[in-house]
Amino acid sequence: MEPGREFDQHFDVVVVGYGFAGAVAAISAHDHGAKVLLLEKMPDPGGISVCAGGGLRLSTDRAAAFEYLKATNAGTTPDDVIAAFVDGMFELEAYVQDLAKINDAKLIRQERAGNYPFPGFESMYFLEVDEVPGFDRVTGYPHARSLRNGTNMMKVLEDNVAARDIEVRFSTSAERLISSGDGSVVGLWTNNDAEGRVSVAAERGVILACGGFEANADLQRQYWQLNPVMTAAFRGNTGDGLRMAQDVGADLWHMWHFHGSYGFRHPDPSFPFGIRTKRLPDWVPEHSETDAPMSWILVDGEGRRFMNEYQPYFQDTGHRALDVMNPDTQKQPYIPCYLIVDDPGRAMYPLGGVVFNDRDVEPYEWSRDNLKEVELGILRKADTINELAQLIGCAPDRLESSIGRWNAACTAGDDGDFQRPSKSMTPITTPPYFVGEIWPVVSNTQGGPVHDPRQRVLNSYGEPIHRLYEAGEVGSIWGHLYLSGANLSECFIGGRIAGKEAAESASWRAA
């Protein structure tokens, strides 16, 4: 901003992004005495948060939780940041109970261990909003094709925001932070159709809560080898917070890490989302093996099986086995790969599921018997293994060998090649057969600006950028393995801390 120019508008705290993290940050800042502006560049609230299962991951044992999270982060996140998160876990249930009073929402606890067999994994559980009296998610959030308890949690937060003197502006983008001569953040530029470009003072702080960069293909290419990776649910997360924070000197962390799996591509090129395969129950190696049948296997373009299709938390790490590149050819041999089922497997359950938040996308419901997807060409039918090989473009004898080896493993109850859980193993024996192209799918990214235990954004020397805070997936603490439901906990924990810190910081007007 030009020297001497006055800001167009003044607030104490400006929060960028209206998902779980932004809502909680705005509530927290308001409740600590700040005049708050909450910005959302999309026309509706919810972000990718409203698409989530809605379970906040909590723990019954502080020391055990810290030990588990330290192991899963594998040295990528400082101990003091993990400790602050764990402290927040133990305050969160009472906090959500208080928020739920706004609309008499019913909370439930779901006992669920962590995803990996590290010390402390058994101390974890979920807290969810099971019911909001009088609320129907279909009519309440018609722009979202989402999971029930995620929309319930969003309703609790939206009602709390509405009950407070928090100004909310939809379809309003945050374009760029404004800094003073010493590098402190003093405001930001916003833009919308009604007002145009507006300079907004944030006298106590800006909180970035605008998600990751999963919908930005250019940023994906800069940080990931996998290509292409389809976004699963929300087109609004394009790395806005990442760019704004970098512009004022923020350091970055965890940029390679994203929460994702594998799934189908819709044949209509205008459909913007990848369609993840059916969500099956998680399991913990050496402790709890799933008994859910998985009806498919995956093979590469040469007809070879190459991975355990049912990893312990395959909605998180299912994409990682696809992340292989041949340096001689510059090709990725597992992109695309191919999902194969036989006719009983086809009839077992819907092979895909669509979840998204976007009012401009025509709703798509995957069929119960998968036959609509055959008509659309998402799945293709073959009467013989030879025809199946032709559809894939591989040698029939090689595919025959791969399927035969798999069926023998099913009979033995032992996947000696990739150690898939024995009870999930389903033979492929009964024609017709069906095949679908499979691609990597990202649900959300974890990487972004580094923050400290107080949610202050740090520069490359580990110093706080004054009056700049963050919450949620814009710069998540998860740097190696993710804990299911913990991004949502992070939205609440980080949002509470960031809102309080910003509201209680000294106004630059008083400096």
Is 93 within 8 Å of 127 (Cβ atoms)? yes
pLDDT at 287: 82
pLDDT tens for residues 408-428?
999 999 999 999 999 999 999
CA distance 294 to 309: 9
Our measurement of the distance from residue 5's CA atom to the centroid of its chain's CA atoms, rounded to an integer in Å, reads 40
**Three-state SS letters, 145-201:** ECCHHHHHHHHHHHHHHHCCCEEEECCCEEEEEEECCCCCEEEEEEEECCCEEEEEE
Is 467 within 8 Å of 247 (Cβ atoms)? no
Summary mean pLDDT of the chain: 96
pLDDT at 285: 87
The pLDDT of residue 511 is above 70: no
Is 290 within 8 Å of 423 (Cβ atoms)? yes
Contacts of 250 (CB under 8 A, 6+ apart): 449, 450, 457, 458, 459, 465, 468
At 331, the amino acid letter reads K
CA distance 9 to 477: 33
In this structure, the number of other CB atoms found within 10 A of the CB of residue 469 comes to 33
Mean pLDDT (whole number) for 87-92: 98
Burial of 136 (0-12, 13-18, 19+ CB in 10 A): exposed
Mean pLDDT (whole number) for 193-203: 97
Q: What's the pTM value of the predicted model, to 2 decimals?
A: 0.96
Is 23 within 8 Å of 157 (Cβ atoms)? yes
Radius of gyration of the chain (CA): 24
* Nearest of 491, 351, 470 to residue 52 by alpha carbon: 491
pLDDT at 144: 86
At 482, the amino acid letter reads Y
CA distance 74 to 186: 36
Domains of the chain: 9-257+446-510 (3.50.50.60), 259-442 (3.90.700.10)
pLDDT at 238: 98
Burial 153-175 (b: 16+ CB within 10 A, else e): bbbbbbbbbeeeebebbeebbbe
CA 425 vs CA 28, 309, 310, 374: distances in Å: 48, 10, 9, 24
CA 359 vs CA 42, 128, 162, 238, 324: distances in Å: 10, 25, 21, 17, 35
Report the helix count and the strand count for the chain, using DSSP H and E: 13, 23
Contacts of 315 (CB under 8 A, 6+ apart): 259, 260, 261, 276, 279, 282, 443, 484
Is 231 within 8 Å of 354 (Cβ atoms)? no
pLDDT tens for residues 236-272?
999 999 999 999 999 999 999 999 999 999 999 999 9
Backbone angles phi, psi at 206, to 5 degrees: -110, 135
pLDDT at 4: 56
Is 500 within 8 Å of 453 (Cβ atoms)? no
Cis amide linkage into residue 432, ω under 30° from 0: yes
pLDDT tens for residues 137-176?
888 998 888 777 899 999 999 999 999 999 999 999 999 9
CA distance 185 to 235: 27
Long-range contacts of 280-285 (CB under 8 A, 24+ apart): 280/310, 280/314, 280/424, 282/115, 282/312, 282/313, 282/315, 282/484, 283/312, 283/421, 284/113, 284/114, 284/115, 284/116, 284/117, 284/121, 284/312, 285/116, 285/117, 285/312
The pLDDT of residue 430 is above 90: yes
User: Collapsing DSSP states into helix, strand and coil, what is residue 424?
Assistant: helix
Q: Please list the residues that pair with 253 across neighbouring strands.
A: 448
* Choice among 109-113, 147-151, 459-463 with the minimum mean pLDDT: 147-151
Q: Please list the residues that pair with 449 across neighbouring strands.
A: 252
pLDDT tens for residues 439-455?
999 999 999 999 999 99
CA distance 507 to 511: 7
DSSP per residue, 391-411: HHTS-HHHHHHHHHHHHHHHH
Is 463 within 8 Å of 97 (Cβ atoms)? no
Sheet holding 56-59, edge to edge: 56-59, 124-131, 106-111
pLDDT at 2: 54
